[in-house]
Chain A
Amino acid sequence: MAAAPDHAPKYAQLSLPDRIGKAMPLLLVPVLVVLGFLSIGSTSSWLTLTVSGLAMGMMIFIMASGLTLVFGLMDVINFGHGAFISVGAYVGISVLVALESWTGVPSLLLNVAAVLAAVVAAMCVTGALGWGFERVIVRPVYGAHLKQILVTVGGLIVIEQMIHVIWGPDEIYLTRPEMLKGAVTFAGAAIEKYRLLAVVFGLVLFVGMRLVLKRTKIGLIVRAGVQNGEMVEALGYRLRLVFIGVFVAGSALAGLGGVMWGLYQEVITAGMGEEMMILVFIVVIIGGLGSVEGAFIGALLVGLLQNYVAFLEPKLALISNIALMTAILMWRPQGMMPVVKAK
């Protein structure tokens, strides 16, 4: 019997530049916030803009997280994702309108109950819709990118037209529940209550999602599936079922994002999902396909940058996202934190 080999496992510390390189994407958000502060100058406007940028980023993240996971798991990109956003908004707003007796009174409890009811209804409907979408539209076209894109775009058209059929062709204006109207003043800056709420809500959701993904068995399988689906299947897990679960959850989250966005904008149209989808795609691309953290950072960057630029140079606000995407792709062609290698 030979003695155990005398080499001990060593942990080689990464060199400082490498560590900074890895952390770079995480640093981008604070850097952008500081840059925004320097170029805006006034503390109160900066604070207002930062909060609304973060709120917008959180909402985009909620819509983008499901999409990027679905892509990572099964290599399916769903161009119909935007339709779920619209459907969620319409269902949620319908519930809020129906519960007008709860939303019209200045009672925090009733108001929150109405919003929760709207959110639950929207998530149930879009989740179910996602399930049907997966069965009918996506299932026959695994592995064929061209067909996937075409068919999901077809689904987008049909769902959007169905919204017109059910809710009529006009845009719907709405007002937020009484207690969510108005603003609070903090350090001389007026901050809308709803935006603060959206930030908190988004953060809670992000932390919750991270906990599920990092601490639970199902999260482990999902993450492993995103990294290497074949290996997970070889270990005996039914990736297809996991995928359906993630697809439904992603669709429900899109619906949730739709409700939140509708309340943020106070107007909803059938085409809103299409417009949001462009932002969602930008976020998914710059975050790195399949990466939830990347999508989170990307969404915050998009939200903050858009709000800062809208203040400094209104005409360039919507172009700023493309500029951001181009810059990030020049720096890291696969996105900031790629999980799936984009071939």
Chain B
Amino acid sequence: MLANLLSGDRPRSLILTGLLLAILAALALAPFLFPGVRSLETAARICIFIVLVASYDLLLGYSGIVSFAHTMFFGLGAYGVALASTHMGRGFDALIVGTIAGAVAAAILALLIGLFSLRVRAIFFAMITLAVASAVAVLVSQLSGLTGGEDGLNYSIPRELTPAFKLGKLFGISITGKILNYYLVFFASLALFLLLLRIVNSPFGRVLKAIRENDFRAEAIGYRVVLYRTLATCLSAAVAALAGSLFAIWLRYVGPATTLSFEIMLDILLMVVIGGMGTMYGAVIGVTIFVLAQNYLQNLMGVAAGATEGLPLIPQLLDPDRWLLWLGVLFILSVYFFPTGIVGRLRAED
């Protein structure tokens, strides 16, 4: 049963199993274990980014395709929900319509980009996706009549999912709509993650890995490489859009900076590589470390910067806003020395 659920892809490392179980338990019980608005925000962010990063890993780690357009698909899903909720009024039907529309739009756009550029080599695709994604980000901030421009969109979601909705108390924690919303995010993310795990461990996933290792041979065996690459791109885009929809439902706000910016693309890249490319579990570990670092490393760095205040340059290097510098260094080091990321290391040791 468990093996079925994980599609036969066990963690294959004791430490990794422990870490994954701890993360799962922490996320599942987050409202009760860590009461407070900020920690719930962090937990929801982790859930959503696990899906987003895992869907990116389907491209980068399993298919060897570098895309810089993943935030564009994420944003499409988010704006789908936002636009539907704005125009159809609050209600679950708006959420469903927006989610489906976003995912379909993302898949179609991915198909178009894929048809154009997946025939050529990795570098070309990377450059083209970067250009297209930046154009979409600009378009979204320019068409302020439709998308709210730089300010983004605020909208209402069904009352059952907002803090105003009270259900009663459980273990001393009052159950509000916010907690229901959290569990919607949590279970949807879990389901999507297991779906991705299923995909990469299916025959389809194995063909993707074969193409990643040697596309020439894969073609020679008789697999149509372009078709598989395009399918992987579409699937990954659709799942990213679903993650975007969850993000929109959770935040009740969508804007270019939170969904479309190049910074988020870089974050995704860092999370995949640090966690471990080519393993779905890498996404879980990478996201958890990254989001925790984002939220809590800054405090630590602030303390360190304060402690070294008298020295030249070092306080600036340790400034809380410079946390990305250190993750960037870690990123480069891990590409060189741990190309399989944390998960790969853990698996190799057992």
Interface membership of B139, Cβ < 8 A: yes
Q: Which residue of B lies closest to A158 (CB)?
A: B328
Instruction: Verify if B3 is at the interface (C-beta below 8 Å from A).
Output: no
Which of A151, A157, A289, A342 is B336 in contact with, Cβ under 8 Å? A151
Docked Cα-Cα span, A165 to B305, in Å, equals 13
Say yes or no: B331 contacts A145, CB within 8 Å. no
**Interface size of B by Cβ–Cβ distance < 8 Å?**
44
Q: Among residues 122 to 141 in chain B, which have CB atoms less than 8 Å away from a CB atom of chain A?
A: 122-124, 126-128, 130-132, 134-135, 138-139
Distance in angstroms between the alpha carbons of A147 and B319 in the assembled complex: 29
Picked from A71, A146, A325, the residue with its CB within 8 Å of the CB of B122 is A146
- Give bound CA distance, A282 to B131, whole Å: 7
A284 touches B127 (CB 8 A): yes
> Distance in Å from the Cβ of A74 to the closest Cβ of chain B?
12
Mark contacts of B135-154 with chain A using CB atoms, 8 A cut-off: 1 yes-contact digit, 0 otherwise: 10011001100000000000
In the bound complex, do residue A343 and residue B328 qualify as a contact, i.e. CB atoms below 8 Å apart? no
Check if B135 sits within 8 Å of A319, measured CB to CB.
Answer: yes
Q: Is A154 an interface residue (CB 8 A)?
A: yes
Contact: A147 with B123, CB < 8 Å? no
Decide if A158 touches B332 in the complex (CB within 8 Å): yes
Q: Which B100-128 residues sit within 8 Å CB-CB of chain A? A: 116-117, 119-124, 126-128
Partner of A322, one of B117, B124, B135, B335: B135
Query: Does B170 reach chain A (CB closer than 8 Å)?
Result: no
- CB-nearest residue of chain A relative to B122? A145
Convert A139-171 into 0s and 1s, putting 1 for each residue whose CB lies closer than 8 angstroms to a CB of B. Answer: 011000111111101110110011011100100
Interface centre among A278, A326, A342 (most CB of B within 10 A): A278
Give the complex CA separation of A275 and B332 in angstroms.
22
| Contact of A165 with B325 at beta-carbon distance under 8 Å, contacts A318-B135, A326-B116 already known | yes
**A165, B328: Cβ atoms under 8 Å?**
no
Contact B122 A281 (CB under 8 A): no
Q: Which residues of A contact B60 (CB under 8 A)?
A: 146
In the complex, what distance in Å separates the CA atom of A79 from the CA atom of B317?
24
Interchain CB contact (< 8 A) of B321 among A164, A278, A315: A164
**Contact, CB under 8 Å: B127 / A315:** no
Question: Which of B66, B321, B327 lies in contact with A149, CB distance below 8 A?
Answer: B66
* B66 and A146 contact, CB distance less than 8 A: yes
Interface 1/0 per residue, A284-324 and B, CB below 8 Å: 11000100000000000000000000000001001101100
A141 to B273, alpha carbons, bound, how many Å?
16
A137 near B: Cβ within 8 Å? yes
How far apart are the CA atoms of A325 and B205 in the complex, in Å? 32
Evaluate contact between A154 and B335: CB separation under 8 angstroms.
Answer: yes
Q: With the chains together, A342 CA to B134 CA distance in Å?
A: 23
> Which residues of chain A are near B127, meaning CB under 8 Å?
77, 281, 284-285
Q: Are A281 and B132 in contact (CB under 8 A)?
A: no
Q: What B residues does A289 contact at CB under 8 A?
A: 124
Bound CA span A333–B130, Å: 18
Tell me the nearest residue of chain B to A335, going by C-beta: B124
Q: Could you tell me how many residues of chain A have their Cβ less than 8 Å away from some Cβ of chain B?
A: 44
Bound-state Cα–Cα, A77 to B121, Å: 12
Residues of A within 8 A of B328 (CB): 154, 157-158, 161
Query: What chain B residues lie within 8 Å of A274 (beta carbons)?
Result: 262
Residue in A146, A315, A322, A343 whose CB lies within 8 Å of B142: A315
- B344 proximal to A (CB < 8 A): no
Whether a CB of chain A sits under 8 angstroms from the CB of B199 is: no
Residues of B within 8 A of A153 (CB): 266, 269
Min distance, Cβ B139 to any Cβ of chain A, angstroms: 6
A343 CB contact (under 8 Å) in B120, B130, B313, B322: B120
Contact A278 B120 (CB under 8 A): no
Q: Which residue of B lies closest to A275 (CB)?
A: B134
Q: How far is the CA of A150 from the CA of B66 in the complex (A)?
A: 9
Which chain B positions have C-beta within 8 A of A149? 66, 122-123, 126
Chain A: minimal CB distance from B130 (Å) = 6
Assess the B316–A165 pair: CB atoms within 8 A: yes
- Residues in A neighbouring B143, C-beta threshold 8 A: 315
Q: Assess the A342–B335 pair: CB atoms within 8 A.
A: no
3 nearest CB pairs, A to B: A161-B325, A157-B328, A154-B332
What are 22 A-B pairs at a CB distance below 8 A? A140-B336, A146-B60, A146-B64, A148-B123, A149-B122, A150-B269, A150-B331, A151-B332, A151-B335, A154-B331, A154-B332, A162-B325, A165-B317, A165-B319, A319-B135, A321-B135, A322-B132, A325-B131, A333-B119, A333-B120, A342-B121, A343-B120
Q: Mark B residues whose CB is within 8 Å of A.
A: 60, 64, 66, 116-117, 119-124, 126-128, 130-132, 134-135, 138-139, 142-143, 262, 266, 269-270, 273, 313, 316-317, 319, 321-322, 324-325, 327-329, 331-332, 335-336, 339
Q: Given A148-B123, A161-B324, A318-B135, 13 other A-B contacts at CB below 8 A? A: A71-B123, A77-B127, A155-B332, A157-B266, A158-B325, A161-B325, A165-B317, A165-B325, A277-B130, A278-B130, A284-B127, A318-B142, A326-B116
